[in-house]
């Protein structure tokens, strides 16, 4: 098992991501938009997991004070459809959270139920077991979400 951290996208990666978004937008008969691109850039450069509200705060901190919440909420599904970000179940019941998916390796999560700390990890044995289970049950695996919940060391010490 190894912990993973998402490496930042370089300028070439950002441009490839924006081209992928523009292709989806064009396929829907929509026009390109600087505001949509700004939301995409902010989402792709966000470190870690984020909500729409956190992304809006980040956009405004970057000087896009006139960005409306409705715009962010409209753009997020396009970013998911384009494969740039993905929804995460990290906050099931607490609203949607997102993370970058573009040019990023698959990973799983372990979440502290006390402080909400998230650790991303890869564990090949999980991947092999999931493939074996799906094959045994007659499924062709197309994806999965694997999240573990527990109490981190810091929170254990605090109690």
Q: What CATH number did the domain enclosing 125 receive? A: 3.30.1490.190
Residues 88 and 35 reside in one and the same domain: yes
Domain count within the chain: 2
Annotated ligand binding at 37? The verdict is no
pTM value is 0.81
Annotated ligand binding at 152? The verdict is yes
Annotated ligand binding at 136? The verdict is no
Integer Cα distance of 120 and 69 in angstroms: 28
Buried b (16+ CB within 10 A) or exposed e, 54-82: bbbebbeeeebeebeeebbeebbebbbeb
Q: Is the model's pLDDT at 2 over the cut of 70?
A: yes
Residues 79 and 142 reside in one and the same domain: no
Residues 48 and 120 reside in one and the same domain: no
Annotated ligand binding at 127? The verdict is yes
- Read off the pLDDT of residues 90-148 as tens digits, 9 standing for 90 and up: 655 556 789 999 999 888 989 898 988 889 999 999 999 999 999 999 999 888 878 88
Integer Cα distance of 81 and 112 in angstroms: 29
- Largest distance between two CA atoms of the chain: 56
Annotated ligand binding at 58? The verdict is no
Range(s) of the domain holding residue 113: 108-158
What's the pLDDT at 46?
94
Annotated ligand binding at 112? The verdict is yes
């Amino acid at each position: 098992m190894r912990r993973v951290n998402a490496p930042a996208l370089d300028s070439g990666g950002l441009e490839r991501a924006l081209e992928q978004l523009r292709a989806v937008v064009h396929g829907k008969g929509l026009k390109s938009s600087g505001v949509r691109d700004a939301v995409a850039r902010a989402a792709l450069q966000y470190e870690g997991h984020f909500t729409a509200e956190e992304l809006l705060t980040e956009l405004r901190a970057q000087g896009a004070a006139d960005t409306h919440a409705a715009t962010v909420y409209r753009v997020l599904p396009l970013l998911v459809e384009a494969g740039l970000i993905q929804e995460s179940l990290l906050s099931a019941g607490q609203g949607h959270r997102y993370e970058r998916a573009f040019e990023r390796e698959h990973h799983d999560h372990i979440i502290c139920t006390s402080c909400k700390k998230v650790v991303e990890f890869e564990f090949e044995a999980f991947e092999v077991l999931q493939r074996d289970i799906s094959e045994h049950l007659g499924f062709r695996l197309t994806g999965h979400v694997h999240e573990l919940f527990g109490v981190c060391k810091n929170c254990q010490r605090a109690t």
